[in-house]
Chain A
Amino acid sequence: MDFRFSESEEAFRQELLKFLDAELPAGWGEGPAPSPDEEWAETLRMRRKLAERGWLTMHWPPEYGGQGASTILSLIFNEEMSYRGAPGRDAFGARMLGPTLMIYGTEEQKRRFLPPVARGEVQWCQGYSEPQSGSDLASLSTRADDEGDFFRINGSKVWTSLAHRADWMMVLVRTDPDAPKHRGISFLLVDMKSPGVEVRPIMNMAGTHEFNEVFFDDVRAPKTNLVGEQDRGWYVAVTLLDFERSGIEYAATSRRLLDDLSGFIRESGRGMEGWVADLLAERYVEAEVARLMAYRVAWMQSRGMVPNREASMSKVFGSETFQRVADTGMKVLGLYGQLTEEDRWAPLAGRIQDAWRHSFSNTIAAGTSEIQRNIIASRGLGLPRG
């Protein structure tokens, strides 16, 4: 057993940090949280640079534009990028779609869809939730009628992050309304420029436009865009969820907020009161445990094991840790915590209140904490289903 990274892994970390120092705009991550438009512009710019170095999809096999890097290396990549709040990574294409297509996609699909992701040229979004199908995802009712060589899609998706920026969507549709609910779902790839696709923005509590409603009105998708077997898309969908739920981001951003907070308090010169030190230390321990749980998931993947309950445990614990960290930040800053970046008195340029406002989504997105706990109990611990 060894918790350390190898010399070559550490060398990669240093190379990445040097790259970020050179490429990130001056003061990035130290000022106010960027607006979605600023962040998107930086995302596109940085994504191209990451792609040039092959880092965007480093964990993919070379034939599809990856470097065949170990999961451990991409863990380091994700940890440092998250800690720095660096834009450019691609959760949907690189992390979710890619690995899923490599399992379920046809050779033609892989050759067509993966290289553009590796080159950073395409943005994907994920059409899972619907207005009437949240935690009960398999009850989804967006239908896709079999029209011979294409599907005709009607219905709507909701909470679709980045749909307004996306070129393509991976979408779950019902292809057999008469089958039991898990048996009539298919996994389709849909061009967002197709006639009949409409995206409407939803504003969140952080005051930003990040997710959307997406409507499908007689949208055509060719059958060649079907991933896996028709009516067997549920299995594709849950495989993708395990990729979605594996990540170091919550642990890394928790640690960043804590470092920012304790640095701010030290520099303010007012001293750290006992209760503040106690709270910060408690969160610090949690962030460290969250990091270890994420490491465990990545290590399992690096050994070809498929983390399931481990991914859910890491997701629950990481997301709840980040919420507690953000909440602790608000408590510690007192009256000043409420000040936003426009206010000259705002501590840390208002980043704590921004993190806190965003943090509510952590325990809802990618499966609520309650759904994760159901998965841990039934799939992980073998408790009988109700």
Chain B
Amino acid sequence: MDLALSEIQQMLKTSAREVLAREVPFEVVRAMEGDAEGYTPELWRSMAELGWLGLVVPEKYGGAEGSFLDLGMLLEEMGRALTPGPFFSTVVLGALTVMDAGDEAMRSNLLPGIAGGETMMTLAVTEESGGYGPGDIRMRAERRGDGYVLSGRKMFVPDAHAADYAIVTARTSEGEDAREGITLFVVPMKQGGVSVTPHATMALEKQAQVDFDEVRVSADAVLGSVNGGWSALERALERAATAKGLEMVGGAEAVLEITLEYLKDRVQFGRPVGTFQALQHHCANMAIDVEGSRYAAYQAAHRISEGLPAGREVSVAKAWVSDAYMRVCATAVQCHGAVGFTTEHDLQLFTRRARAQEQLYGDGGFHRRQLAAGLRG
């Protein structure tokens, strides 16, 4: 057992913190909340130049062939800085899924563009039921001629407005087991019949309803196997839940630090309020939540990095982090008093996102039900 970060991971973390502090101060985060695109081309270019977009992409496609845990260091820092833009969608949902399930043609077609900063991607899974289970995938793809025709609606698709391609999950056959009959398609978003309607979200992160009206794709668009897409999708969702958890760990740590600074400065009854035990105990609870979240998320990321079965560890991590981060934010607001829930204060930027992130790729309840299935035996 070794819980230390590797030299590369430490370096990635340090440099990401510096770069993001410089390029994505909270003013930029706020500006991007109101921006239709939600990111700046300059930031995206920097991410390509720094090698972040290609960090996990194999060298032969122009990447650095880093591990999932390496990527985790960036995600943690991005969560800390509330970094806006489609990095998560493109790299975690897009590139890693293509690497996992795609054939050589698919990989060489998409990965160099992702590493180079020219191609953005996303993953369209959820539908009107709002769930992540196999039974939630109802959208149909009909075999027609030598290709497929996709019809239906996806919801809560992250960064759909920016994506060049979406990995779309659809049902190509019906069976008794909901896990059977699911196929993944790589669909060009600019294609006729695809329409993107942005959701109005509380956290102002960019998500959209995406409608597919008789969208024709060739057989080459199939990612992985026809009807057997669930296992690749399940792995993609495990990576997504873990990656989201790592972002949340970064956010939670930032919230704790912001709170500690405030409690040392703010004076009431003639002394810094941080001297009061009631508030000290709040902070101790936040620190315990941050510590537990970090190692739960690292454990899941390590399993994924090593290619080990990770379902249990992922569910432990996302179940815990989802609830812990919400507790951390709520406690932080309480420690701040009224100023903590003003728009002016940066804390609310984290609090709104924590609520959105809680739901993404399964909330605490979802992941506890996954674990309970194992307890039932």
Q: Which residues from B are CB-within-8-Å of A72?
A: 1
The reply to whether the CB of A299 lies closer than 8 angstroms to some CB of chain B is: yes
Cα distance A309–B283 when bound, in Å?
12
Query: Smallest Cβ distance from A102 to chain B, in angstroms?
Result: 23
Are B316 and A282 in contact, CB atoms less than 8 angstroms apart? Answer: no
Q: Which of B256, B264, B302, B371 has the most CB of A within 10 A?
A: B371
Q: In residues 212-252 of chain B, which contact A (Cβ within 8 Å)? A: none
Are A292 and B2 in contact, CB atoms less than 8 angstroms apart? Answer: no
Q: Which residues from A are CB-within-8-Å of B175?
A: none
Cα distance A121–B215 when bound, in Å?
80
The reply to whether the CB of A386 lies closer than 8 angstroms to some CB of chain B is: yes
Are B302 and A376 in contact, CB atoms less than 8 angstroms apart? Answer: no
Choose among A289, A293, A299, A381 the residue that contacts B2 (Cβ–Cβ < 8 A).
A299
Q: In residues 1-46 of chain A, which contact B (Cβ within 8 Å)? A: 1-6, 9
Are A378 and B280 in contact, CB atoms less than 8 angstroms apart? Answer: yes
Are B376 and A293 in contact, CB atoms less than 8 angstroms apart? Answer: no
Q: Which residues from A are CB-within-8-Å of B2?
A: 1-2, 299
Mark interface residues in A263-300 (1 if CB within 8 Å of B CB, else 0). 00010000010000110111011101110110110010
Given contacts A3-B1, A3-B302, A386-B275, contact A370 B281 (CB under 8 A): yes
Q: Which residues from B are CB-within-8-Å of A303?
A: 4
Q: In residues 350-377 of chain B, which contact A (Cβ within 8 Å)? A: 365, 367-369, 371-372, 375-377
Cα distance A310–B295 when bound, in Å?
12
The reply to whether the CB of B63 lies closer than 8 angstroms to some CB of chain A is: no
Given contacts A316-B284, A373-B284, A381-B284, contact A289 B296 (CB under 8 A): yes
Mark interface residues in A354-386 (1 if CB within 8 Å of B CB, else 0). 000000000000000010111011101111111
Given contacts A278-B372, A372-B284, A377-B281, contact A296 B291 (CB under 8 A): yes
Q: In residues 269-286 of chain B, which contact A (Cβ within 8 Å)? A: 271-272, 274-277, 279-281, 283-285
Given contacts A1-B4, A299-B2, A377-B284, contact A285 B291 (CB under 8 A): no
The reply to whether the CB of A317 lies closer than 8 angstroms to some CB of chain B is: yes
Are B291 and A383 in contact, CB atoms less than 8 angstroms apart? Answer: no
The reply to whether the CB of B263 lies closer than 8 angstroms to some CB of chain A is: yes
Q: Which residues from B are CB-within-8-Å of A266?
A: 376-377
Cα distance A344–B296 when bound, in Å?
41
Cα distance A13–B249 when bound, in Å?
32
Are B299 and A3 in contact, CB atoms less than 8 angstroms apart? Answer: yes
Our count of residue pairs bridging A and B at CB distance below 8 angstroms stands at 147
Are A313 and B275 in contact, CB atoms less than 8 angstroms apart? Answer: no
Tally of A interface residues using CB under 8 Å: 47
For A258, the closest partner residue in chain B by CB is B375
Given contacts A2-B302, A5-B1, A278-B365, contact A284 B260 (CB under 8 A): no
Q: Which residues from A are CB-within-8-Å of B302?
A: 1-3
Are A384 and B291 in contact, CB atoms less than 8 angstroms apart? Answer: no
Q: Which of B5, B287, B302, B367 has the most CB of A within 10 A?
A: B287
The reply to whether the CB of B292 lies closer than 8 angstroms to some CB of chain A is: yes
Are B275 and A285 in contact, CB atoms less than 8 angstroms apart? Answer: no
Cα distance A26–B25 when bound, in Å?
64
Are B291 and A293 in contact, CB atoms less than 8 angstroms apart? Answer: yes
Are B368 and A278 in contact, CB atoms less than 8 angstroms apart? Answer: yes
The reply to whether the CB of B288 lies closer than 8 angstroms to some CB of chain A is: yes
Q: Which residues from A are CB-within-8-Å of B285?
A: 373
Mark interface residues in B256-268 (1 if CB within 8 Å of A CB, else 0). 1000100110000
Query: Smallest Cβ distance from B339 to chain A, in angstroms?
Result: 19
Query: Smallest Cβ distance from B324 to chain A, in angstroms?
Result: 9
The reply to whether the CB of A262 lies closer than 8 angstroms to some CB of chain B is: yes
Are A1 and B264 in contact, CB atoms less than 8 angstroms apart? Answer: no
Choose among B9, B277, B280, B319 the residue that contacts A1 (Cβ–Cβ < 8 A).
B9
Are A292 and B280 in contact, CB atoms less than 8 angstroms apart? Answer: no
Are A2 and B283 in contact, CB atoms less than 8 angstroms apart? Answer: no
Query: Smallest Cβ distance from A7 to chain B, in angstroms?
Result: 12
Q: Which residues from B are CB-within-8-Å of A309?
A: 287
Query: Smallest Cβ distance from A378 to chain B, in angstroms?
Result: 7
Are B283 and A285 in contact, CB atoms less than 8 angstroms apart? Answer: no
Are A382 and B368 in contact, CB atoms less than 8 angstroms apart? Answer: no
Choose among B274, B299, B368, B375 the residue that contacts A272 (Cβ–Cβ < 8 A).
B375
Given contacts A3-B302, A292-B292, contact A374 B280 (CB under 8 A): yes
Cα distance A5–B302 when bound, in Å?
13
Query: Smallest Cβ distance from B69 to chain A, in angstroms?
Result: 6
Query: Smallest Cβ distance from A279 to chain B, in angstroms?
Result: 9
Q: Which of B274, B280, B281, B365 has the most CB of A within 10 A?
A: B280
The reply to whether the CB of B3 lies closer than 8 angstroms to some CB of chain A is: yes
Are A384 and B264 in contact, CB atoms less than 8 angstroms apart? Answer: yes
The reply to whether the CB of B298 lies closer than 8 angstroms to some CB of chain A is: yes
Query: Smallest Cβ distance from A233 to chain B, in angstroms?
Result: 27
Choose among A289, A376, A381 the residue that contacts B316 (Cβ–Cβ < 8 A).
A289
The reply to whether the CB of B6 lies closer than 8 angstroms to some CB of chain A is: yes
Q: Which residues from B are CB-within-8-Å of A380?
A: 284, 287
Cα distance A179–B371 when bound, in Å?
56
For B9, the closest partner residue in chain A by CB is A1
Are B6 and A376 in contact, CB atoms less than 8 angstroms apart? Answer: no
The reply to whether the CB of B320 lies closer than 8 angstroms to some CB of chain A is: yes
Are A285 and B371 in contact, CB atoms less than 8 angstroms apart? Answer: yes
Q: Which residues from B are CB-within-8-Å of A385?
A: 275
Cα distance A382–B272 when bound, in Å?
13
Q: Which residues from A are CB-within-8-Å of B264?
A: 382-384
Are A289 and B263 in contact, CB atoms less than 8 angstroms apart? Answer: no
Query: Smallest Cβ distance from A231 to chain B, in angstroms?
Result: 29
Are B287 and A285 in contact, CB atoms less than 8 angstroms apart? Answer: no
Choose among B9, B260, B276, B319 the residue that contacts A382 (Cβ–Cβ < 8 A).
B260
Q: Which of A4, A272, A303, A381 has the most CB of B within 10 A?
A: A381
Are A1 and B377 in contact, CB atoms less than 8 angstroms apart? Answer: no
Beyond known contacts A381-B283, A381-B284: 19 more, CB 8 A cutoff? A3-B3, A277-B375, A280-B375, A284-B371, A285-B315, A285-B316, A286-B320, A292-B296, A293-B292, A310-B291, A373-B284, A374-B284, A376-B287, A376-B288, A377-B277, A380-B284, A381-B280, A383-B275, A385-B275
6 closest A-B pairs by beta carbon, nearest first, are A377-B280, A277-B372, A373-B284, A281-B368, A376-B284, A292-B295
Which residues of chain A have a CB within 8 Å of any CB of chain B? 1-6, 9, 72, 262, 266, 272, 277-278, 280-282, 284-286, 288-290, 292-293, 295-296, 299, 303, 309-310, 313, 316-317, 370, 372-374, 376-378, 380-386
Question: What would 6 A/B residue contacts be, using CB atoms closer than 8 Å?
Answer: A1-B9, A272-B375, A289-B296, A317-B292, A376-B283, A383-B260
